[in-house]
């Protein structure tokens, strides 16, 4: 099945690593896919993946109309452990700076081009090359990994072990939490599963 999937894509980079290969370092930081959270920069990530991601400003609006901002970059068609996958990296930046970037955008003529992948209250806005270049030295604060084929719950348990918490978010989504890995796995019925790695607290 993996060969078939790869044969229908033109992947850019291949990494011989698996999503359950998470290293907890001496300083309590985490390393996965060759990236150390809070330390590896976006520029270094470009070198690891041998490609440049698509950088966007992610704007999340909650039910109270409160907005939070993230600068993210997406790498598509990577091969991770034999599967075509997408990786999204979140920049380590502050909300004040990101809000200023948002205000600098001509939002009226820069409407989101990408459909939100996680929730309907998430929108993505293109940023210019100057913003990208100015933030190349920013560390990676979070990794979201989305394989093209779901591993299945049995294989996830075999490789990650039992989750500390298994929460039913809806009829279509489960959330498994592995705090020792800084990991949350979102298991979906109608869309690909995704794995979110964040620094240990």
- For residue 61, give every residue at least 6 positions away whose Cβ sits within 8 Å of its Cβ, in sequence order, or none: 67, 121, 123
- What are the extents of the domains in the chain? 2-197
Q: Report whether 168 contacts 125 (CB < 8 A).
A: no
The structure tokens 């999204």 sit at 88
pTM above 0.95, yes or no: no
Q: What span, in angstroms and rounded, lies between the C-alpha atoms of 105 and 109?
A: 9
Q: What span, in angstroms and rounded, lies between the C-alpha atoms of 193 and 187?
A: 5
* pLDDT by 10s per residue, the chain, length 201: 343 343 444 555 678 899 999 998 878 889 999 999 999 999 999 999 998 899 999 999 888 888 899 999 999 989 988 889 999 999 999 999 999 999 887 544 455 544 444 444 888 999 989 999 999 999 999 999 999 999 999 999 999 999 999 999 998 999 999 999 999 999 998 889 999 999 876
Q: What span, in angstroms and rounded, lies between the C-alpha atoms of 14 and 146?
A: 15
């Amino acid at each position: 099945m993996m060969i078939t999937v790869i044969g229908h894509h033109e992947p850019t980079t291949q990494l011989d690593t698996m999503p359950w290969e998470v290293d907890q370092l001496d300083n309590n930081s985490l390393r996965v896919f060759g990236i150390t959270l809070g330390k590896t920069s976006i520029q270094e990530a470009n070198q690891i993946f041998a490609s440049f991601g698509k950088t966007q400003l992610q704007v999340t609006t909650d039910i109270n109309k409160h907005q939070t901002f993230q600068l993210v970059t997406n790498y598509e068609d990577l091969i991770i452990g034999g599967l075509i996958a997408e990786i999204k990296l979140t920049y380590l930046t502050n909300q004040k700076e990101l809000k200023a970037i948002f205000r600098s955008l001509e939002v009226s003529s820069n409407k989101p081009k990408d459909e939100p992948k996680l929730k309907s209250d998430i929108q993505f806005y293109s940023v210019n090359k100057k913003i990208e270049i100015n933030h190349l030295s920013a560390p990676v604060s979070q990794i979201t990994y989305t394989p093209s084929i779901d591993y299945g719950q049995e294989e996830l348990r075999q490789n990650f072990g039992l989750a500390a918490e298994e929460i039913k978010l809806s009829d279509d989504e489960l959330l498994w939490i592995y705090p020792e890995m800084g990991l949350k796995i979102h298991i979906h019925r109608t869309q690909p599963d995704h794995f979110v790695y964040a620094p240990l607290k």
